[in-house]
Structure 1
Amino acid sequence: MVIPKGKVVHEDLSTSYTNIHELLSDLRQNSFTGYCQVNFWEYRGTLFLDRGRIINACEEIGNEQNIGDRAIKSILNKASQKDGTVSVFQLQDEMVATLASVLNSKVKYKDLTTELTSLEKLISKLKKEEHSGYVEVLLNSDSGDGCIYFQDGRAMESVFRASDGEMISGPSGFKKILGLSTEVGAVFNVYESDMSSIVIDNSVSDEVIRVFQDTIAAVEDAVDAKFGAGKFMDDFKRVIATNANKYLFLDPFTGEFSYKDKTIKFEGETTLEDFSNGLADVITQIVELFGQKDSSVLDSIFLKIQSVKERHIQVIDRLKLDMKIPSVFGDRAVSEPEHKDDDAKETKGKRRFWPFGGKKSSEDA
C-alpha cells in the first residue's frame, strides 16, 4: 500500500533528539489529523491520527507487517532508539479514516489484468458499487506501482510510485497511473475497507488497569504529603462505597475491585466504559474532596501526574481521560519560582522536541 505524503509538518527529525511522546502530545493538543512515520533501515512504522488520537498503526519490518495495538506499542518503542527519523504529514479527515480502515482490508478482486479490463472500467464499476477501500495497481515492465483510494464510491486520492521511489499524488498521480496502465499494462488488486481494523479496545486490559493504578497512586502521594499518611485511603474507601450502587464492580462485598499498597486488583467482567467511567468518577470526587480542604493540593497532584501522563499518554487519549477527569488530566498552570540556571542544567543533554512552528536557536543547533 502506497501512502499519500500529504502536507509536511515535520520531516526527518532525528530520533536521537525527538521525544516521540512529547511529539504525539503536541499533535493531540493541536487536534492533528494525519500520520506520524518512524523510519529506520528496513523498518517503517506509521501511526494514523484522527484529531490527535491514534486510531490505527502499521509496522513494516522487511517483509513482515503488524497492525493495530501491537504495532502501536512496537513503533513507540522503536522511536526511542537512535539513528532513525520521524516525519509527520497532515491529511484530510476522510483520507485518514480510509487509510486506517484498509490496513486489514479484505480482497475483493484479485489479479485482474489489463488484458481483461481497463482501469477506467474498473473505476466505473467501483463507483457504482459505492466501494470503500483501494485499488493496488502493479505496472508491468518495472514501471512502478500505485494506489487509488475510494470512500463510498468516490476516488479520494491517487498515489503513483516510480521504480526509483519518486512519488506523485493527486490528479497528476492518477494521470500517471492511468497512462502507464494503458501503455505498458498492469495487474489490479481491489481491497475493501474493514472498519474493524481501526483500534477500539473494549476490554479492561492490564494496560488500562496500570493507567488508573498509577493515577490513583500519584493522587495518594500528593494527598498524604499534604494531609498526612493514610488520609487518602480513609476517604478513598468511603468514596468507593458511595459509588458502588452505580458501578457494581466497586462493591467491596463482591471483591471484584481493590486498591491496596498502590496496586489495583481487578477480577471482574465489567465493560471498559463502565470501568473507566467508574474510576474516573471516584478520582474526580476524591480530588474535589481534598481540594476543598486545601486547594494547594491540586497543584501537587498536577505535578505528580505529569510522569503518569508521559508513560501512558496513548491510553489516556484513547479513554479520553482528559475530559473524564479534567481536575487531574486537564491542562493546568502551576505558579512556581523561576530557576533559570537549574532549568538549564536539567535540560542539558536531554532529548528535545520542537513543536509546531518552533525553530532551533543557534544555541540549540
Structure 2
Amino acid sequence: MIFPRGEVVHKNLSTAYTDLSALVSTLKSEGFSGTIEIEFPQHKGTLFFGSGEIVDAEARGGAEAKKLAGQEAAQALLGLTGQKNGMVSIYRLPPERLAIVTKNLQNEIVFKGLSTDFTRLEGLLHKLREDKLTGFIEVLTKDNQPMGVLFLEEGESVEMYTLPESGPSVFGRKSIPIFVETVTKQGAVFDVYRIRGGVSKKEKEEVLAVPLTSPPPKAEESKELIPIFQDILSRVEKWVDGATQRGTFLKAFNRSRMEKSGEFFFLDPFSGEFSYQDGTIRFAGETSGKDFARGILECLRSSLPHLEKEFPKNRMFLLKLRAEIESSLEYHGGAMKILGIDTDFSSFFQ
C-alpha cells in the first residue's frame, strides 16, 4: 500500500547512532501519532502509532520479500533493534487520518495494472460502486510513480490523499472530483484492493435484520472528535509541562473544567462523563459533537489566565503558548470542518 507522508519529525536517522527501542519508548511516552518508517538492506516496514501506542504495522523481509502485517510485523521490525545498517524516518499524522490507513492494511488485490489507455476511471468507479467494494485504489503515473490513494466504502468514494513531490500528503474528500478529472487527462495506472475479511452484502443484511441497541447519535458525534482533541490537549500539555514542570497544564485545565461545568455539564468532574489524563480522553456522555468541541475549547481558553497568574513576568511564555494552541487547532481544522465543527478560530483568544 502507498502510505501517506506526514509532517517530518526526523528523516533518515542512521541506526548506527539511533537506538530503535529507545526511540519507540520515547514516542510512546510523548503520546505520538504517526508513522516510523524502518529500512534495512533485507527488511523494511512501517510502525503506526496512535496516541502513543503501536496500533498496527506492515513489514516485508527476507529473500522472498514476505509481507507481514499487524502484531507479527511489529515484532519483526522491533526485532531489528541493535542492527547498525538501517535508516529510520518519523512522520507525524493526526490519529483520524492514521485510522484511514490502518483500516485498509489487511487487503487483497482485485485488479492490478489497469491503465487509462484501456480503462476509464469513471467506468471503473461505476463498476466498484455496483460491486459495493470496500477498499482502495492506488493511482500511479505511467512511469510507476505514486500519485495518490482513493478510499471506497460500499463502492462510494469517501476519502483520498495525494502525494506531492515534496511535503506532507494532502488529504481531502472534496478534492476527489478534481483528482479524477486530473488523472483522466494525464493518464495513470490503477491497482484496486479489497479489505480482506470484509462482510458480504448478504451477511450485512442479515446482521441489520437483528434489532440492535445503538448509541445515541449525539454520542457518536462526540466520539468521532475524541482523537482530534486528544491530540490537541496532549500537544499543549507537552509544551506547557516541558516549559515549566509536569502537571502544570493539567492543574490549570482541571480548574477551568470546574468553572465551565455549569455551561457544559459533561466537564463536571463529579459527572463521571469526561476525563483527561496521561494524554488520553475518556468520554461516556451523550453531549453533541458541537458542544463537546465548544466545551473543550472554552476550557483551553480559560486555562490561559490561570497559567498567566502562575508566570506573571514571563510574557514570552504566554505568547508561545497561544501560538502552540493556534497551530494545533489549525492542524486539525480540515478534519473538524468535515465533522461539522466551526473552524474559524480567529476569535479564540479574544
If the TM-score is normalised by the length of the shorter chain, which range does it land in?
0.3 to 0.5
**Larger CA Rg, structure 1 vs 2:** 1
Give the number of the structure with larger relative contact order, counting CA–CA contacts within 8 Å between residues 6 or more apart: 1
